[in-house]
Structure 1
Amino acid sequence: MKSRKFWRSSTTHFVALVAGFAISFSSLRVLSSFAEPITDNSNLTPGASTPVAVAPSNLPQSFVATAIEQTGPAVVRIDTEKVVSRRLNPALEDPFFQDFFGNQLQQPQRQRMTGQGSGFIVDQEGIILTNAHVVDGADRVLVTLKDGRTFDGEVRGIDEVTDLAVVKITPQGDKLPVAPLGNSDQIRVGDWAIAVGNPVGLNNTVTLGIISTLSRTSAQVGIPDKRIDFIQTDAAINPGNSGGPLLNAQGEVIGINTAIRADAMGIGFAIPINKAKELQNILASGREVPHPYIGVQMVTITPELAKQNNQDPNSPFLIPETNGVLVVRVLPDTPAEAAGIRVGDVITKVNNQPITDGSQLQSLVEKVGIDKSLTVSLKRGDRDLDLTVKTAQLANQ
């Protein structure tokens, strides 16, 4: 299978989806407009050669402008710094490059790396929601408001599995603008979607599109290590938009802009705001977000796919020809290994509930919780087995 590339929408973070694919941007000029400006020659001054454009007074105000007036001031820019150490030459580890006393002749070089993303304020106490990949590993976080005020930010909590993070700033007397949060369970395909953020360092940028689809799984998006059903939108999202809000037509936050596809245009993804609401207090308090897991890597299998595999003389093993989830790897020191699950097993039921794809299994395990016993029904060759698996907490990477 060819390797693929996937970009996350911060200026220093990306995940690949199509190898060798690159997009170059050139400056664009607007060559013409759809309508000529309305002019009123009575506004001409003596000797003037250019008419003065007068906006029609009967045009309704844009709903986008109204939405941005409400929420835009709460959108912030997040700049990060991280100091990393590296040696200029790995050969310096060799004793030959040490002095008489055994000291290295050259010390590791310290390099300062910077990054930039977006976020938005959700309460007067200075709580900011953003993406985990925007602030992960940062030694310093600087938050800049639209009105120019700057604050040092404290990373309160990070959850890599959902790519969510909470940053805290301390207000200095003045009130902070707060973004109103909507309900992502109520949005529909075709609804307006407004993306706000700081793409490629261009502060306070607004783009407009629609909700393209809902419940796009992380596997479909191309980042299977996440546990999110994403909102897909065609509102333009670019590096630097990460952590910024996706708004509805009323200016309410319905999602957190997170990622874009590098092999396409007009395909962006946002974390539903209801998921962020669910985890906000946990992250703000610095607690670990619960993520139960059993420890298998899997792919969806059907009788047709299994038959194709079994007819291939180079296949590493035969697969039971049934619907379910094929175990392609059992991670060491995990509940799955302890329970006796093996590579080549096909999981068909969990707690007597039929399993037909990997996302269904992952969702079921997530809902069960940590330290809970599951009855996993599977096919191994021509045998049917029931194994008991006890879920555990998935550690952050």
Structure 2
Amino acid sequence: MGLYSLPIRRLGCGLLAVLLWVGLSLPLRVYAEPVSAATATSKAASILQGGSPHNFISESVQKVGNSIVRIDTERTVIHRAADPFLNDPLFRDFFGDGYAPAPREDRLRGQGSGFIIDGSGIVLTNAHVVSDADTVSVTLKDGRTFEGKVQGVDEVSDLAVVKLKGVEGKLPVIPLGNSDEVQVGDWAIAVGNPVGLDNTVTLGIVSTLHRSSAEVGMSNKRLDFIQTDAAINPGNSGGPLLDAQGNVIGINTAIRADAMGIGFAIPINRAKVLKDQLVRGERILHPYIGVQMTTLTPKLAQENNQDPNSPISLPETTGVLVIKVIPNTPAASKGMRLGDVITAVDDKPISTASELQALVENTQVGQTLQLTVKRGDRTQTIAIKTAELNLRRSCGTPCGGEHVGSPLREMSILPIHVEPQTCCYSPTSGPNWMTATIRCFTTILASSPMWTMPLSKH
């Protein structure tokens, strides 16, 4: 069985089920809500442009299609024995290491999308498409294939730049739009290579703006996403989300795996800020203070305090509750602790965890922040100097820095499937959820990440 045989068959069954459901439900909807001829004509006119036989969608795709690419990668994954008996120090001291099985190497293939931002062969894509890849191959719409070199990767913003080797002449460049001008309800056109189906175009609208990475379930990122209902599938990662004029407004990145019509794209203006550094191969510096946190409201604090099993008492105020302080971080060195509530930074009121994370991200590494902290009945100011966030180091959290608590969700970081373990799951409503969350962090998470995210391919 080929590498993609089983995943594609699974996806095929899922698609068949979806198509059957749509086919059965559409006649019922038409019967219940008949559409008048005038309404249908009006909707058609909104898409068709004047007397042209083509609409804005086809014109936009024709404008940019040649600058959208497919990215194929291969990476080596080493599997080591997970037998706890063989890993026991006493066993190994007595018998030596000769009994341990040799590590097994697997070659994994991945596929994603990208788009050309410079005629010399500079491609912008997602970090998770090319990160740790041994080989990168980039295929243009006209069939030409180039070897790619990963110039720069920033995992915090999930952005990467690939340089094509052996380019002769100038390649077509995609126009970059202004994501700050995008409004909810605007057209959104997704183009990419989902599940190996090259040059696929889907249409939707911008469903909402500024959807924080914590809300999406990607609390190890520092992003505010564009949410869209344009169909996005595995393999679309790194491809462009276009406006009605064919300008890039976002980079397709993730979907809700437990829902339909909920996709997320990184605003292109975020990429504009970082792309030149990535082209030069520079490391992107991200500041952090080193806490895991969640938003606190007076109601949530009151529910916690009324629970006799709650391990701590919380001030009934609005702010950011510190759930865990990561060892060997700026916050730890200044004595921050579980149960602290941050209400302001540099005298600016803070009401949500995402707000605090964004504020820290917009500072400089080494900058000192004055945090107003409620601890029990006392209010104090703690001066914390930010340090550089490093995702690769081991420090008790998946991201090594601010980790915003949110409901565990089954997410798909295209094309990788992410399914959080639920050992620490607690709902965001109902009695005692805050207490359960705090208790979970004071026990299980004393030496563990907030949750682990084992990866499995679609």
The answer to whether structure 1 residue 263 and structure 2 residue 255 are counterparts is no
The answer to whether structure 1 residue 347 and structure 2 residue 347 are counterparts is no
Extract unaligned runs of 5+ from structure 1: 1-10, 12-21, 35-56
Q: Flag the 1:124–1:338 CA change in 2: closer, same or farther, 3 A.
A: same
Whole-Å separation in 2 of the counterparts to 1:212 and 1:105: 53
**1:73 aligned residue:** 66
Identify which of 271, 277, 286 aligns with 2:281: 286
Considering only aligned residues, what root-mean-square deviation do their CA atoms show, in Å?
Answer: 2.7
Amino acid paired to 2:15: F
Whole-Å separation in 2 of the counterparts to 1:159 and 1:136: 9
The answer to whether structure 1 residue 201 and structure 2 residue 191 are counterparts is no
The answer to whether structure 1 residue 83 and structure 2 residue 76 are counterparts is yes
Please report how far the alpha carbon of residue 362 of structure 1 lies from its aligned counterpart in structure 2 after TM superposition: 1.2
Describe the SS at the equivalent of 1:203: coil
Q: Flag the 1:224–1:151 CA change in 2: closer, same or farther, 3 A.
A: same
Whole-Å separation in 1 of the counterparts to 2:274 and 2:52: 42
User: What do residues 301-353 of structure 1 show as CA deviations (whole Å, max 9, x unaligned)?
Assistant: 11111011000001110001111111000001111111111110111111011
Q: Single out whichever of 82-91 and 373-382 deviates more from structure 2.
A: 82-91
More helix by share: 2
Please report how far the alpha carbon of residue 88 of structure 1 lies from its aligned counterpart in structure 2 after TM superposition: 6.7
**2:47 aligned residue:** none
Describe the SS at the equivalent of 1:26: helix
**1:370 aligned residue:** 365
Whether the 8 Å CA contact 1:93–1:104 is kept in 2: the answer is: no
**2:378 aligned residue:** 383
Describe the SS at the equivalent of 1:25: helix
**2:439 aligned residue:** none
Please report how far the alpha carbon of residue 288 of structure 1 lies from its aligned counterpart in structure 2 after TM superposition: 1.2
Identify which of 373, 392, 395 aligns with 2:390: 395
Trace 1:161-240 onto structure 2 (pairs within 5 A).
161-240=156-235
Whole-Å separation in 2 of the counterparts to 1:230 and 1:302: 24
TM normalised by structure 1 equals: 0.83
User: What do residues 3-53 of structure 1 show as CA deviations (whole Å, max 9, x unaligned)?
Assistant: xxxxxxxx9xxxxxxxxxx98121859999x9xxxxxxxxxxxxxxxxxxx
Amino acid paired to 1:117: G
Whole-Å separation in 1 of the counterparts to 2:377 and 2:205: 49
Extract unaligned runs of 5+ from structure 2: 5-11, 31-49, 393-458
TM normalised by structure 2 equals: 0.72
Q: Flag the 1:198–1:311 CA change in 2: closer, same or farther, 3 A.
A: same
Q: Flag the 1:140–1:304 CA change in 2: closer, same or farther, 3 A.
A: same
Whole-Å separation in 2 of the counterparts to 1:168 and 1:352: 44
Whole-Å separation in 1 of the counterparts to 2:223 and 2:315: 30
Whether the 8 Å CA contact 1:257–1:270 is kept in 2: the answer is: yes
Whole-Å separation in 2 of the counterparts to 1:131 and 1:342: 35
Describe the SS at the equivalent of 1:230: strand
Q: Flag the 1:96–1:319 CA change in 2: closer, same or farther, 3 A.
A: closer
Whole-Å separation in 1 of the counterparts to 2:312 and 2:62: 60
The answer to whether structure 1 residue 110 and structure 2 residue 105 are counterparts is yes
Identify which of 146, 154, 162 aligns with 1:151: 146
**2:304 aligned residue:** 309
The answer to whether structure 1 residue 25 and structure 2 residue 15 are counterparts is yes
Whether the 8 Å CA contact 2:81–2:100 is kept in 1: the answer is: no
The answer to whether structure 1 residue 128 and structure 2 residue 123 are counterparts is yes
Q: Would you say how many aligned residue pairs link Structure 1 and Structure 2?
A: 352
Please report how far the alpha carbon of residue 174 of structure 1 lies from its aligned counterpart in structure 2 after TM superposition: 3.6
The answer to whether structure 1 residue 160 and structure 2 residue 155 are counterparts is yes
Q: Which has the larger radius of gyration?
A: 1
User: What do residues 367-394 of structure 1 show as CA deviations (whole Å, max 9, x unaligned)?
Assistant: 2211011111111111111111001111
Q: Flag the 1:311–1:253 CA change in 2: closer, same or farther, 3 A.
A: same
Highest RCO, 1 vs 2 (Cα 8 Å, sep ≥ 6)? 1
Whether the 8 Å CA contact 1:159–1:396 is kept in 2: the answer is: no
**2:247 aligned residue:** 252
Amino acid paired to 1:26: L
Describe the SS at the equivalent of 1:161: coil
Please report how far the alpha carbon of residue 71 of structure 1 lies from its aligned counterpart in structure 2 after TM superposition: 0.7
Percent same amino acid at aligned positions?
Answer: 59
Whole-Å separation in 2 of the counterparts to 1:171 and 1:208: 34
Whole-Å separation in 1 of the counterparts to 2:361 and 2:141: 38
Whether the 8 Å CA contact 1:125–1:170 is kept in 2: the answer is: no
Whole-Å separation in 2 of the counterparts to 1:301 and 1:112: 45
User: What do residues 286-309 of structure 1 show as CA deviations (whole Å, max 9, x unaligned)?
Assistant: 111121111111111111110110
Amino acid paired to 2:206: I
Please report how far the alpha carbon of residue 84 of structure 1 lies from its aligned counterpart in structure 2 after TM superposition: 2.0
Trace 1:27-106 onto structure 2 (pairs within 5 A).
28=19, 59-87=52-80, 90=83
Please report how far the alpha carbon of residue 87 of structure 1 lies from its aligned counterpart in structure 2 after TM superposition: 4.6
Whether the 8 Å CA contact 2:120–2:167 is kept in 1: the answer is: no
Please report how far the alpha carbon of residue 360 of structure 1 lies from its aligned counterpart in structure 2 after TM superposition: 1.2
Whole-Å separation in 1 of the counterparts to 2:97 and 2:202: 59
Q: Flag the 1:209–1:105 CA change in 2: closer, same or farther, 3 A.
A: closer
Whole-Å separation in 2 of the counterparts to 1:87 and 1:389: 40
